[in-house]
């Protein structure tokens, strides 16, 4: 899920970003267009590791609660299967209702856990995405870029950049600097053009 959510937030952030320079520039002025990979920036920001750790803790808590409920259900189910034949009809019916209620409760907890984890992920990601988006704006304005494009639109989407002839306008290092983060070594060899779409990954689940 994490790559899908990042991709969705990237598209939203970039769509809301105003032009990084006036579009009324003289026709004789060279158009300056930069590019970066927002997902690459996000996943190499220190805050992203903190987000992953916090999500991992929450996921473990939800998993434990679900496992405890399922263990209790299994024990009651085993007891019912063992003694159902000797139970009075009214007791057997009562036990069956209890088991059905427990099963419904487990399914509800599972659904709510997944929703809660996804909401928490988006909540934690928003401040980081805001930081990255703001850094892109500042880099664009300071370096007179008309546009800064995202080189990867996310899984199962058409790449925004189909061809880049030079690394000259890869602004990833400038964005890392604006964020106060040391660029990872890979940034200098990062492939600027989006690779073929990968299979979609699910959002963080339990």
Distance in angstroms (rounded) separating the CA atoms of residues 16 and 161: 19
| Predicted pLDDT of residue 3 | 58
Residue 18 has pLDDT above 60, yes or no: no
Distance in angstroms (rounded) separating the CA atoms of residues 12 and 129: 10
- CA–centroid distance for 117 within its chain: 11
What is the average pLDDT across 121-125? 96
Residue 33 has pLDDT above 70, yes or no: yes
SS3 call for 124: helix
The answer to which of 79-93, 126-140, 148-162, 183-197 has the lowest mean pLDDT is 183-197
CA 159 to each of CA 34, 37, 197: distance values in angstroms, whole numbers, following the listed order: 15, 11, 8
Q: What percent of the chain has a predicted confidence (pLDDT) above 70?
A: 75
Residue 19 has pLDDT above 70, yes or no: no
Give every CB contact of residue 35 below 8 A, 6+ residues apart in sequence.
148, 149, 150, 151, 161, 164, 169, 170, 171, 192
Q: Structure tokens of 125? A: 């990601």
Q: Structure tokens of 90? A: 């009214």
Element (H, E) at 184: none
Q: Of 46-50, 152-156, 182-186, where does the model show the most confidence?
A: 46-50
SS3 call for 168: coil
| Predicted pLDDT of residue 160 | 77
Q: What's the pTM?
A: 0.68
Distance in angstroms (rounded) separating the CA atoms of residues 131 and 70: 41
Strand-pair partners of 170: 35
Residue 103 has pLDDT above 50, yes or no: yes
Distance in angstroms (rounded) separating the CA atoms of residues 26 and 137: 21
Residue 25 has pLDDT above 90, yes or no: no
């Amino acid at each position: 899920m994490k790559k899908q959510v990042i991709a969705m937030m990237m598209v939203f952030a970039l769509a809301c970003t105003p032009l990084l320079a006036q579009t009324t520039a003289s026709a004789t002025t060279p158009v300056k267009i930069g590019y970066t990979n927002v997902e690459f920036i996000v996943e190499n920001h220190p805050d992203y590791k903190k987000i992953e750790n916090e999500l991992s803790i929450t996921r473990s808590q939800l998993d434990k609660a679900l496992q405890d409920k399922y263990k209790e259900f299994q024990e009651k189910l085993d007891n019912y299967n063992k003694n159902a034949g000797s139970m009075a009809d009214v007791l057997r019916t009562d036990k069956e209702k209890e088991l059905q209620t427990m099963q419904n409760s487990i399914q509800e907890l599972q659904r709510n856990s997944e929703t809660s984890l996804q909401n928490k992920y988006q909540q934690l990601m928003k401040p980081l995405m805001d930081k990255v988006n703001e850094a892109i704006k500042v880099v664009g304005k300071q370096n007179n870029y008309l546009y800064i494009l995202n080189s990867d639109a996310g899984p199962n989407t058409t790449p925004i950049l189909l061809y880049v002839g030079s690394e000259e306008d890869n602004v990833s290092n400038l964005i890392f600097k604006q964020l106060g983060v040391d660029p990872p070594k890979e940034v200098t060899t990062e492939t600027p053009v989006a690779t073929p779409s990968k299979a979609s990954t699910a959002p963080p689940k339990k």
